[in-house]
Amino acid sequence: MEFVNPEGLRLDGRRPMEMRQLRAQIGAVAKADGSAVFEMGNTKVIAAVYGPREVQNRSQQINDQALVRCEYSMANFSTGDRRRKPKGDRRSTEISLVIRQTMEECILTNLMPRSQIDIYVQVLQADGGTRSACINAATLALADAGIPMRDLVTSCSAGFLNSTPLLDLNYVEDSAGGPDVTVGILPKVDKVTLLQMDAKLPIDTFENVMQLAVEGCKAIANYIREVLLENTKQLEYRRGL
């Protein structure tokens, strides 16, 4: 199938290096300590963060750092066919783990020993790249909750179809069966915290694709920073400072 036509346009009218439209909103769940909604095109994700708080299950308590827990789920209405999926299937367990590890990397856990941080992410609408969207939403929610972090973590995916590296795959491109590289970075320190791909790619091509994904991450980081700044200004304004 042709994913990039000879005019250089993808199926949805983007060019290969273009991302989908980003939207973000902080404070979507009033009850949570921090929350955010993050959208990448038609992929829409909500994240809620609770904590740092007392560890619920004492046996899991860690004495020198905080316990980070993460739960990923997909709303039944998030995909076209409204099937009821069992909770905690392989895929969501894996993604929960991936997100937890990525977030743990940037949270300064040693500042909050013997406490627990819960991150809940739920996909409201899925159109490819849910993993990346979840990480971005979780970053925003953690920032909103005021949890100390080393840096923002941002994530973006890139693929390789029709011999062209493509940024930010949507569902149609994602299900084409080509390689899908998901990268998460700490943009300020310029370090990679997440790198996933379950396909084969020649190493030189892979480098290009990954570079593209990193560029995407940086663009997202800029956007998230703007959103946070705007949010802070709002808070300032409300306090009347």
Partner 1 sequence: MLHSKTFNKKTRGGRIQKLVREVYLRDDIYCGALFCKSCEDKSKARLTATASTILILDTNVVLNQIDLLENPAVEDVVLLSVVLQEVKNKNSAVYGRIRNLIDSPARRFVVFSNEFHRDTYVQTMAGESPNDRNDRAIRVAARWYQSHLGEAVKVLLITNDRENKRKATEEGVSAETIESYVKSLGQPALLDLLVQPASEDVIMEEVEDMRPSKRKVVYPEHKPMSEITSGLTKGIYHQGKLRVNRYNPFEAYVGSESIGDEIVIYGRGNMNRAFDGDVVAVELLPQDQWHEEKSLSIVDEEDEEEDVHLVPGSSDDAPRTSIPVSSSTFDTNPVSSRPSGRVVGIIKRNWHSYCGSLEPMPMPAGSGGLAYALFVSKDRRIPKIRIQTRQLDNLLDKRIIVAVDSWDRQSRHPSGHYVRSIGQIGDRDTETELVLIENDIDARPFSAQVLACLPPLPWSVSSKDLNESNRVDLRHLCVFSVDPPGCKDIDDALHCTMLPTGNFEVGVHIADVTNFVHPGTPLDDEATQRGTSVYLVERRIDMLPKPLTEDICSLRADVERLAFSVIWEMTPEAEIISTKYTKSVIKSRAALSYVEAQARMDDSRLVDPVTKDLRNMNALAKIMRQRRIQRGALTLASAEVKFQIDTETHDPLDIGMYQIREANQMVEEFMLAANVSVAEKILKEFPECSLLRRHPTPTKEMLGPLLRTAAAVGLNLDVTSSKALADSLDCAVGDDPYFNKLIRIMATRCMTQAVYFCSGELSPPEFLHYGLAAPLYTHFTSPIRRYADVIVHRLLAASIGIYKLPTIFRDRPQLTSIADNLNYRHRNAQMASRGSVELHTLIYFRNRPTDTEARIVKMRSNGFIVFVPKFGIEGPVYLTMRGDKGGGEWFVDEQQQKIRKMDGSVSYSILQAVKIHLEVLEPKPNRPKLQLTLL
Interacting residue ranges for partner 1, rule: CB under 8 A = 5-7, 9, 11-14, 18, 20-21, 41-42, 80-81, 127, 170, 172, 200, 202, 205
CA–CA separation, 232 and 153 (whole Å) = 19
Hey, what's the torsion of the CAs at 222, 225, 229, 230, to 10 degrees?
Answer: 70
CA–CA separation, 234 and 10 (whole Å) = 38
Tell me the angle at which helices 90-106 and 130-145 cross, rounded to the nearest 10 degrees: 40
CA–CA separation, 12 and 14 (whole Å) = 6
Q: Which is nearer to partner 1, 127 or 180 (CB)?
A: 127
Q: Which is nearer to partner 1, 2 or 64 (CB)?
A: 2
Q: Which is it for the CA torsion 19, 98, 187, 28, positive or negative?
A: positive
Task: Collect all residues with Cβ–Cβ distance below 8 Å to 59 and sequence separation of at least 6.
Answer: none
Closest approach, Cβ 143 to partner 1, in A, equals 26
Closest approach, Cβ 81 to partner 1, in A, equals 6
Q: Which is nearer to partner 1, 42 or 65 (CB)?
A: 42
Q: Which is nearer to partner 1, 42 or 196 (CB)?
A: 42
Q: Which is nearer to partner 1, 43 or 136 (CB)?
A: 43
Closest approach, Cβ 133 to partner 1, in A, equals 14
Closest approach, Cβ 28 to partner 1, in A, equals 21
Closest approach, Cβ 132 to partner 1, in A, equals 16
